[in-house]
Amino acid sequence: AARQEARSKFKDSTDLVHRLFVCISGVADQLQTNYASDLRHILKVVFESYSSSSLDDNISTAAATTTTTSTSSNTTTSINNTANTNGSLRISQEPPAWLPDDSSSQCMSCKVLFTFVRRRHHCRNCGKIFCSNCSSNSVPLPHFGHQKPVRVCNSCFLFHVNPF
Protein backbone atom coordinates (compact mmCIF):
# COMPACT_ATOMS: atom_id res chain seq x y z
CA ALA A 1 0.00 0.00 0.00
CA ALA A 2 2.81 2.43 0.87
CA ARG A 3 4.60 1.55 -2.37
CA GLN A 4 1.51 2.34 -4.44
CA GLU A 5 1.04 5.62 -2.59
CA ALA A 6 4.67 6.63 -3.25
CA ARG A 7 4.41 5.71 -6.94
CA SER A 8 1.16 7.63 -7.36
CA LYS A 9 3.05 10.90 -6.73
CA PHE A 10 4.92 10.46 -10.06
CA LYS A 11 3.56 10.43 -13.61
CA ASP A 12 5.57 7.43 -14.75
CA SER A 13 8.75 5.47 -14.02
CA THR A 14 10.87 8.01 -15.94
CA ASP A 15 9.64 10.76 -13.63
CA LEU A 16 10.46 8.55 -10.61
CA VAL A 17 13.98 7.80 -11.90
CA HIS A 18 14.56 11.51 -12.58
CA ARG A 19 13.45 12.43 -9.05
CA LEU A 20 15.75 9.77 -7.56
CA PHE A 21 18.64 11.08 -9.68
CA VAL A 22 18.02 14.63 -8.44
CA CYS A 23 17.96 13.44 -4.82
CA ILE A 24 21.15 11.39 -5.19
CA SER A 25 22.89 14.30 -6.95
CA GLY A 26 21.93 16.58 -4.08
CA VAL A 27 23.37 14.16 -1.54
CA ALA A 28 26.60 13.85 -3.58
CA ASP A 29 26.92 17.64 -3.77
CA GLN A 30 26.35 17.91 -0.03
CA LEU A 31 29.02 15.27 0.69
CA GLN A 32 31.49 17.08 -1.57
CA THR A 33 30.74 20.33 0.25
CA ASN A 34 30.97 18.83 3.75
CA TYR A 35 34.11 16.76 3.09
CA ALA A 36 36.01 19.12 0.81
CA SER A 37 38.96 19.25 3.21
CA ASP A 38 39.26 15.45 3.15
CA LEU A 39 39.22 15.51 -0.64
CA ARG A 40 41.90 18.24 -0.69
CA HIS A 41 44.04 16.25 1.77
CA ILE A 42 43.84 13.09 -0.35
CA LEU A 43 44.69 15.00 -3.52
CA LYS A 44 47.60 16.74 -1.76
CA VAL A 45 49.02 13.42 -0.55
CA VAL A 46 48.73 11.92 -4.04
CA PHE A 47 50.35 14.98 -5.62
CA GLU A 48 53.20 15.06 -3.09
CA SER A 49 53.78 11.35 -3.49
CA TYR A 50 54.10 11.61 -7.25
CA SER A 51 56.06 14.86 -7.23
CA SER A 52 58.60 13.70 -4.63
CA SER A 53 59.51 10.50 -6.45
CA SER A 54 59.33 9.39 -10.03
CA LEU A 55 56.87 6.82 -11.28
CA ASP A 56 59.73 4.38 -11.92
CA ASP A 57 60.69 4.59 -8.24
CA ASN A 58 57.11 3.83 -7.21
CA ILE A 59 56.88 0.89 -9.60
CA SER A 60 60.23 -0.58 -8.55
CA THR A 61 59.36 -0.07 -4.87
CA ALA A 62 56.01 -1.77 -5.36
CA ALA A 63 57.64 -4.63 -7.29
CA ALA A 64 60.35 -5.03 -4.65
CA THR A 65 57.76 -4.98 -1.88
CA THR A 66 55.69 -7.62 -3.66
CA THR A 67 58.75 -9.81 -4.22
CA THR A 68 59.92 -9.36 -0.64
CA THR A 69 56.46 -10.05 0.72
CA SER A 70 56.02 -13.24 -1.29
CA THR A 71 59.53 -14.45 -0.41
CA SER A 72 59.33 -13.55 3.24
CA SER A 73 55.90 -15.10 3.60
CA ASN A 74 57.50 -18.43 2.70
CA THR A 75 60.59 -18.00 4.87
CA THR A 76 60.68 -15.38 7.60
CA THR A 77 57.11 -14.21 8.06
CA SER A 78 55.34 -16.40 10.54
CA ILE A 79 51.65 -17.02 10.46
CA ASN A 80 50.17 -17.03 13.93
CA ASN A 81 47.01 -18.99 14.52
CA THR A 82 45.49 -17.64 17.70
CA ALA A 83 42.10 -18.35 19.10
CA ASN A 84 39.64 -15.51 19.51
CA THR A 85 37.33 -15.35 22.48
CA ASN A 86 34.64 -17.16 20.50
CA GLY A 87 37.04 -19.98 19.59
CA SER A 88 37.45 -19.12 15.91
CA LEU A 89 40.93 -18.89 14.39
CA ARG A 90 42.42 -15.56 13.44
CA ILE A 91 45.37 -15.51 11.05
CA SER A 92 47.75 -12.58 11.34
CA GLN A 93 51.16 -11.92 9.83
CA GLU A 94 54.21 -10.85 11.75
CA PRO A 95 54.64 -7.05 11.44
CA PRO A 96 57.77 -5.85 9.62
CA ALA A 97 60.91 -5.17 11.60
CA TRP A 98 61.44 -1.47 12.25
CA LEU A 99 64.62 0.09 10.95
CA PRO A 100 66.79 1.31 13.84
CA ASP A 101 66.47 5.05 14.54
CA ASP A 102 70.16 5.64 13.92
CA SER A 103 70.02 3.99 10.48
CA SER A 104 68.64 7.14 8.87
CA SER A 105 69.29 10.81 9.55
CA GLN A 106 66.63 11.93 7.05
CA CYS A 107 63.08 11.09 6.05
CA MET A 108 62.99 8.18 3.61
CA SER A 109 60.41 9.97 1.48
CA CYS A 110 61.07 13.72 1.36
CA LYS A 111 64.72 13.52 2.56
CA VAL A 112 64.29 16.26 5.19
CA LEU A 113 66.83 15.99 8.01
CA PHE A 114 65.64 14.93 11.45
CA THR A 115 66.33 17.33 14.31
CA PHE A 116 65.50 17.62 17.97
CA VAL A 117 62.15 19.12 16.95
CA ARG A 118 61.51 17.12 13.76
CA ARG A 119 61.08 13.58 15.06
CA ARG A 120 61.35 10.17 13.42
CA HIS A 121 58.21 8.09 12.96
CA HIS A 122 58.06 4.44 11.90
CA CYS A 123 55.47 3.25 9.41
CA ARG A 124 53.65 0.30 11.00
CA ASN A 125 53.12 -1.27 7.57
CA CYS A 126 56.66 -1.19 6.09
CA GLY A 127 58.87 -0.35 9.11
CA LYS A 128 60.71 2.53 7.42
CA ILE A 129 61.43 5.92 9.03
CA PHE A 130 59.53 9.08 8.02
CA CYS A 131 58.87 12.63 9.19
CA SER A 132 55.42 13.55 10.50
CA ASN A 133 54.37 15.09 7.17
CA CYS A 134 55.13 11.87 5.28
CA SER A 135 53.47 9.61 7.84
CA SER A 136 50.36 11.51 8.88
CA ASN A 137 47.87 8.79 7.90
CA SER A 138 46.35 6.28 10.29
CA VAL A 139 44.57 3.09 9.28
CA PRO A 140 43.85 -0.24 10.94
CA LEU A 141 46.15 -3.08 9.88
CA PRO A 142 44.18 -6.21 10.78
CA HIS A 143 46.66 -8.48 8.96
CA PHE A 144 49.25 -7.39 11.56
CA GLY A 145 46.80 -7.57 14.46
CA HIS A 146 46.17 -3.80 14.70
CA GLN A 147 42.40 -3.34 14.84
CA LYS A 148 42.68 0.35 15.79
CA PRO A 149 44.19 2.88 13.35
CA VAL A 150 48.00 3.10 13.48
CA ARG A 151 50.53 5.38 11.74
CA VAL A 152 51.43 4.52 8.15
CA CYS A 153 53.51 6.39 5.57
CA ASN A 154 51.91 8.09 2.56
CA SER A 155 53.22 5.45 0.16
CA CYS A 156 51.76 2.53 2.12
CA PHE A 157 48.53 4.45 2.61
CA LEU A 158 48.16 5.10 -1.12
CA PHE A 159 49.51 1.96 -2.72
CA HIS A 160 49.22 -0.88 -0.24
CA VAL A 161 46.68 -0.24 2.49
CA ASN A 162 44.03 1.91 0.77
CA PRO A 163 44.33 1.33 -2.98
CA PHE A 164 41.87 3.38 -5.04
pTM over 0.75: no
Task: Report the pLDDT value the prediction gives residue 67, as an integer from 0 to 100.
Answer: 44
Chain segment 74-132, per-residue pLDDT in tens: 333 333 334 344 333 344 678 889 999 899 999 999 999 999 899 999 999 999 999 99
Give me the domains of the chain, ranges plus CATH numbers: 1-44 (no CATH), 94-163 (3.30.40.10)
Question: Could you tell me if 129 and 122 are in contact, meaning their C-beta atoms sit under 8 angstroms apart?
Answer: yes
| Cβ proximity of 137 and 151 under 8 Å | yes
Spatial separation of the C-alpha atoms in residues 140 and 152, rounded to whole Å? 9
Residue 50: pLDDT above 90? no
Q: 119 CB contacts (<8 Å, ≥6 apart)?
A: 131, 132
Each residue's pLDDT tens digit, 55-67: 445 444 444 444 4
Partnered with residue 113 across adjacent β-strands are 106
Please tell me the distance from the alpha carbon of residue 4 to that of residue 107, in angstroms, as a whole number.
Answer: 63
Q: Check residue 39 and give its pLDDT.
A: 63
Q: Which one has a higher pLDDT value, 120 or 26?
A: 120
Tell me the sheet residues that pair with 82.
90
Split at pLDDT 50, 70, 90, the class of 2 is confident
Percentage of the chain exceeding pLDDT 90: 23
- Return the SS3 of 11: coil
